[in-house]
A = this chain, B = another copy of it.
Amino acid sequence: MQLHLSTWAEVETYLKTSKGIIMPIGSTEQHGPNGLVGTDAICAEVVAKGVGDATGALVGPTIPVGMAVHHMEFPGSMTLKPSTLIALLRDYVGSLAEHGFERFFFVNGHGGNIATLRAAFYEIYAENRALRGRDAPDLRCTLVNWWENGEVGRLSRELYQGKEGSHATPSEVSLTQYAYPDSIKSAAMDPEQAPAGGFHDARDFRRRYPDGRIGSAPGLARPEHGQRLYEAAVGAIATQYRAFLAEQ
């Protein structure tokens, strides 16, 4: 059940049996020579929708732009400053909490969002406490990265054998190819697998990784891999969502 395709009366009915909601968050940033700028948002959205279908959970609107300051030397990349993203998340959760939602399960598509998401959760808890004191609702926020679970990890190792890398990975490119088969891109990549490593700011990133990839060989991506990765992720994360709701 997707919030944007529901009526308010349907949401009212939903709230009688669940206080949980799934919130996809992605990023709009370069993903190497053959990756889409929307890769992270697409992956988060597609997986979140799958988890919603599997569990009956309501799925909120995808946050399309996240924290991607380090990608800003590549055209098309967009970013919110961390402080802006915190304000946005505070308003999202605050809006939904007014209606009685209490369990916020973020399905994240972008490693760069993690720190700011976690910081935002505490900003939300602090404000909840300040505004409502002892009567504050029991709000709980958590995040899962769609690629960080045993099922997806095993599949990635099987499919890419050490060429997954950490940015513009064949897994995420495959997932977008599955989701948007009309937008599969081809591009020459040399070397096949990009160098791995860390980075500091945006200029440092581009200097180290001139085509945008880190440690990955996204030329290996295939839409049929994407389908298998999608199914693995949905299965694993549906279990995580149910456990989150069941937690005392």
Contact B72 A130 (CB under 8 A): no
Interface string of A74-87 (1 = CB under 8 A from B): 11111111111011
Task: Say if the beta carbon of A99 comes within 8 Å of chain B.
Answer: yes
Contact A129 B72 (CB under 8 A): yes
- Shortest Cβ distance from residue A177 to the other chain B in the assembled complex, whole angstroms: 11
In the complex, what distance in Å separates the CA atom of A238 from the CA atom of B90?
A: 36
Total copies of this chain within the assembly: 6
Contact A65 B69 (CB under 8 A): no
Number of interface residues of A (CB under 8 A): 91
Residues of chain B within 8 A of A122, CB atoms compared: 67, 69-70, 81-82, 112, 115-116
| Residues 208-227 of A contacting B (Cβ, < 8 Å) | 212
Q: Closest chain B residue to A120 by CB distance?
A: B82
Interface string of A1-22 (1 = CB under 8 A from B): 0111111111110010000000
Other than the given A8-B75, A28-B60, 20 more pairs (CB < 8 A) read A3-B38, A4-B28, A4-B41, A6-B36, A6-B76, A7-B32, A7-B35, A8-B31, A8-B37, A11-B76, A69-B125, A81-B87, A82-B120, A82-B126, A84-B84, A86-B119, A115-B115, A130-B131, A131-B131, A138-B200
